[in-house]
A and B are shown apart, each in its own frame.
Chain A
Amino acid sequence: MALFVLRRLMLTGLMLFGLVLITFVVSNVAPSDPAALAAGPDATRDMVETIRKEYGLDRPLPEQFVHYVGGLLTGDLGRSIVTTRSVMEDLGRYFPATLELVLLSMTFGVLVGVPLGMLSAVLKNRAPDHATRFVAVSLVALPAFWFGILLQLLFSVQLEWLPTSGRLDIATPPPPFVTGMLLVDSVLAGQWATFADALRHAVLPALVLSFPCLASILRVNRAEMIEVMAADYVTAARAHGISRLRVVCVLALRNAMLPTLAIIGLRWGWMLGSTVLVETVFDWPGIGLYAVSSAIAGDFKPVMGVTLLIGVNFMIINLIVDLLYGVLDPRLRATS
């Protein structure tokens, strides 16, 4: 088991290096001149050259890469031109908001997707199954940015039930900073009114963000359940007189949960990626919005920082999923 963990860790390190290389290459194939960009539109040629020297942009690429990696190791992701803060500091500021949204969406996706997938599998090829599958495909096909706008129209403008955008009303006092996640911090501080307001703000973006993930979980769970329900050991369990409810909800679900777990790991990264769109629509101050506004301004460093952060996140989650897999599947436990 220890060997398995060690190997996975080394592989993750290798992947991390690859990712760093990709972001470096991407930011250096750019036709635009980062020094000129940093100096601003009114800068003279001399000023641009000074900046070029200062940032080491006049050095050969391999040397720049070594410098870049060295910076990364000390947590230096460069400086954002737009916010003028270091990218690391910005990520620390914006990531909790994104994490809050993603956690909320993932929870919703699992809580709705798993039971719907089971229902669909049990009623295979009957009307509710067709309906559920249609909904699942629909949820993947819905453009998040467009559906977000429609939900805003309905719930915020027409019905006035929920706020349009942001994380809190201007009038609501934010809780003291602990985790940066308002829902958590407000509970810790006992500010229930703030909690309610934060939740009201989070409902629509979390909902939109969860849809593709919910659809995936539903489909995988359905497919797995169908396969497991046809397995010999389920026939045997039925032959031994175990009730259908228990067969479906306990025995088969446990088997079907393993692939579902893998999907949750895969979708975690996807979801972080979709925040780029959802946060833009709902003006949610997380890393997605940060990446988009920086990209539009031609400011690479923050975009690369976000890319790295999401990549690292994805690798960590998949590492956890792999380890959990080992715990949940006795066959793997024995071999590893």
Chain B
Amino acid sequence: MSLALRRASFAERHAASLRQLRFFAWSFGRSPSSMLGLAIVLGFLLVAAFGPWIAPYPLDAEGAMNLGNRLKPPAAAHWFGTDEMGNDLFSRVVLATRTSLWVGLTIVGMATVIGVPLGIAAGYFGGVARAVIMRVTDVFLSVPGIVLALAIVAALGPGILNGIIALSIVWWPGYVRLVEAKALALRNEPFVEAARAVGASNLRILAVHILPNCTSPIIVKASMDMGLAILAAASLGFIGLGAKPPAPEWGAMISVARTYMPNWWWYAVFPGLAIYLTVLGFNLFGDGLRDILDPKSNRG
């Protein structure tokens, strides 16, 4: 006798999730700006991954000197022109992409790793833990990130690593604030109370009920923050406290280029354009994600 029952296929077992995913894709695809953001982010990732193969003069990124080629305007041989060392700006802009991606990922990663557990602890346990964590968070949030980062870098000394450390230190409080509010709301949800009533441990409740329900806003914030962290790191580079030339970094390039304005305009224009497009891409992408994942929160 053959079994009439068969194992449900993958599509059948996950019908609800798949339907949800299709709905997300449908809403995301309906917004032209979200799709543009996705395209830019993908392009940025490709450039970061294949930079050394895309750049026509990869050596120029490390600060080779071709003084015969100094400050040439954009042309067929040098699409973005050359800098004061005669280096190809296109190669430098392309190779700096990878730096920016790592910087952004590290800052956002550190901020999430520090901020999310603290936020969950504050929101879920409440009491003294919450009071202490939230007051500290408030203090950090009372000074704009760039200023506090400036102070920290000034103390630690300039450099890209110190810049990353400084920005990570100022970035985590945002995640605490975000997750705390969410965890606080979830704590009183009936399904959490039910779990507690049947004797689930705190750890299990946190892992199974609280954290998964916080992921949407975290993902949305992280994707927006990728762009903003890249922008902040470039800002430090521009001030002269981040990456140091000749290491290829967009902000530092503009910082040097400023002294060559206005006659050698291309020097500043192209690195800046790269920053703008990258940040724009992540922001549009994050904005689109928010519209589908977390439509109720729309705080600027």
Contacts and interface: CB of A to CB of B under 8 A. Distances in A.
Contacts of B152: 26
B136 interface: yes
Interface stretch (B118-126, B189-197, B207-215, B230-238): B230-238
Interface in A297-316: 298, 300, 303-304, 306-307, 310-311, 314-315
Contact of A141 (B239, B269, B283): B283
Interface in A203-232: 215-220, 222-224
B155 A26 contact: yes
B108 interface: no
A140 to B, nearest CB: 6
Contacts of A30: 155-156
A307 B283 contact: no
A174 interface: no
Nearest to B150: A295
Contact of B142 (A145, A277, A295, A311): A311
Interface in B101-157: 135-136, 138-140, 142-148, 150-157
Nearest to B143: A311
Contacts of B2: none
Contacts, number: 170
Contact of A219 (B33, B240, B300): B300
B133 to A, nearest CB: 12
A270 interface: yes
A314 B283 CA distance: 26
B147 A15 contact: no
A304 B135 CA distance: 20
Interface stretch (B46-54, B71-79, B273-281): B273-281
Contacts of A18: 135-136, 138-139
* Secondary structure type dominating chain B contacts: helix
B269 A273 contact: no
B39 to A, nearest CB: 14
A291 B147 contact: yes
Interface string A10-31: 0000110011001100110111
A304 B150 CA distance: 10
Interface in B216-256: 227-228, 231, 234-235, 238-241, 251, 254
A197 B42 CA distance: 46
A138 interface: yes
B17 interface: no
Contact of A314 (B142, B265, B284): B142
A146 B142 contact: no
Place the interface of chain A in its size category: 35 or more
Interface stretch (A54-62, A89-97, A147-155): A147-155
A55 B269 CA distance: 46
Given A15-B138, A18-B136, A149-B258, A273 B157 contact: no
A147 B268 CA distance: 10
B145 A273 contact: yes
B83 interface: no
Contacts of A306: 147
Interface string A105-149: 000000000000000000000000010011001101111111101
A148 B265 CA distance: 13
A154 to B, nearest CB: 10
Contacts of A272: 144, 147
Contact of A143 (B135, B148, B235, B265): B235
Contacts of B299: 220, 223, 259, 263
A194 interface: no
Nearest to A216: B300
B156 A269 contact: no
Given A146-B254, A295-B241, A141 B276 contact: yes
Contact of A145 (B154, B235, B300): B235
Contact of B280 (A130, A141, A291): A141
Given A215-B300, A277-B146, 5 more contacts: A22-B140, A137-B33, A143-B275, A149-B272, A157-B261
Interface of B: 31-33, 135-136, 138-140, 142-148, 150-158, 227-228, 231, 234-235, 238-241, 251, 254, 258, 261-262, 265, 268-269, 271-272, 275-276, 279-280, 283-284, 287, 298-300
The 6 A-B pairs at the shortest CB distance, nearest first, are namely A273-B144, A146-B272, A223-B298, A216-B300, A18-B139, A141-B279
